Amino acid sequence: MYYKYMNNRSSSLSTYTYIILCLCLLSGPLYSQAPQTEWFVSATGDDQLDGTWGLDLASVQRAISLIRRAYAAQPFDTATINIHGMIRNYGPDATDIAMVTLRGGGLPAIIFRGESTGSGLDAGGRLMVLYIENTRHVTVENLIITGGYANIGGGAMIISNSFTLGPGGVIEGNTATSFGGGLSVWVGDLTISGGTRIANNTAANGGGLGIAESQARIHGDAIIEGNTANENGGGIQIQNSNRLTIEDGAIIRGNIAGISGGGIISIRSPIVINGARIEGNRALRGGGILIDRLANLNQEGGVITGNTPSDVEEGT
């Protein structure tokens, strides 16, 4: 009797296991595979590869296309594009706007990260390097943005977006014929962190930075130096914006404007300076800072000194 009972019980268990196995096979895998969240791009890569480690892509825009595809299949929070060496290849997926374009939904937050000293994106004077509009947060760290050329935003143009230039980020050697030689921000939220540098960029206005209808914070040992504006705002031009805060050891130095605001010109925008240095800048008016009568300067600490012909001047 005991043997018969155990034999019947074993048969029942086998039938039950079989049913469960069939249900699992019909319903798909118990655990979905984690999505790819890192892509690799190098000067010796190939856009026919998948961008996983050791199978580097040749262009950053191709990485963006693959990220968009992966995000559509299974959404995730953040994608990191690891860049090794100086990338000059636009790739077949590039737009006619910029070397790298991030626009609209369908993307996670993006981190552009240089893997080694000297890694960067060089647009070769053809287009701006980065165009970012109405997408999720974008961060650039340990990476050089150079060789950009555009009417607005030679190095990068940020529209309706948040953007962080993180540690090791460098924006240099870019040109805008109108506004924001290194970086232009419109209706955005800009953070420039310590360990960054915006240098040797050129524009008609806002040689280093052009900020409009936005808010911006420059902090840590961030440096904005050696930028040139043919007209106004050698280092920074900010207009119609919520606030520009410069603090915690940030430095604005050695910038030149042909007319006003060698370091900074503020048009209808408040500026707060706390623990920063504004020094050695030059213009015809307001060598350090020129503030129009609808703006205001709140200096809570820091130093404004050695600017030509004046450190701070109020303009019309």
Length of the chain: 316
Alpha-carbon distance of 158 to 168, in angstroms, equals: 19
Instruction: State the distance between the two ends of the chain, measured CA to CA, in whole angstroms.
Output: 106
Q: Could you tell me the sign of the dihedral formed by the alpha carbons of 92, 94, 96, 98, in that order?
A: negative
Q: 């969240």: which residue's tokens?
A: 37
Q: What is the pLDDT of residue 293?
A: 85
Q: Which residues of the chain have pLDDT under 50?
A: 1-13, 15-31
For residue 301, give the 3-state DSSP assignment: coil
Output the CA angle 200-133-218, nearest 5 degrees.
45
Say which amino acid occupies 172: E
Alpha carbons 186 and 215: distance in angstroms, whole number:
9
> How far from chain centre, in Å, is Cα 201?
16
**What global pTM score does this model have?**
0.90
Residues 6+ apart with CB under 8 A from 70: 35, 36, 76, 79
Q: Which of 190, 274, 275, 194 is nearest to 236 (CA)?
A: 190
Q: What is the pLDDT of residue 32?
A: 58
29 vs 19: CA distance, rounded Å: 16
Pairing of strands 144-146, 98-103: unpaired
CA pair distance 88, 100, nearest whole angstrom: 11
User: CA–CA distance from 244 to each of 25, 198, 297 (Å)?
Assistant: 58, 16, 10
Nearest to 303 by CA among 285, 284, 280: 280
- Name, in order, each residue with C-beta under 8 angstroms of 301's C-beta and a sequence gap of 6 or more: 273, 274, 275
Owner of token pair 């997408």: 135
- The pLDDT value recorded for residue 34 is 85
Q: Which of 92, 23, 101 is nearest to 68 (CA)?
A: 101
Q: For residues 251 and 276, what is the distance between their CA atoms, to the nearest angstrom? A: 6
Give 248's contacts (C-beta < 8 A, 6+ positions apart): 194, 219, 220, 274, 275, 276
Q: What's the CA gap between 57 and 283, in Å, rounded?
A: 45
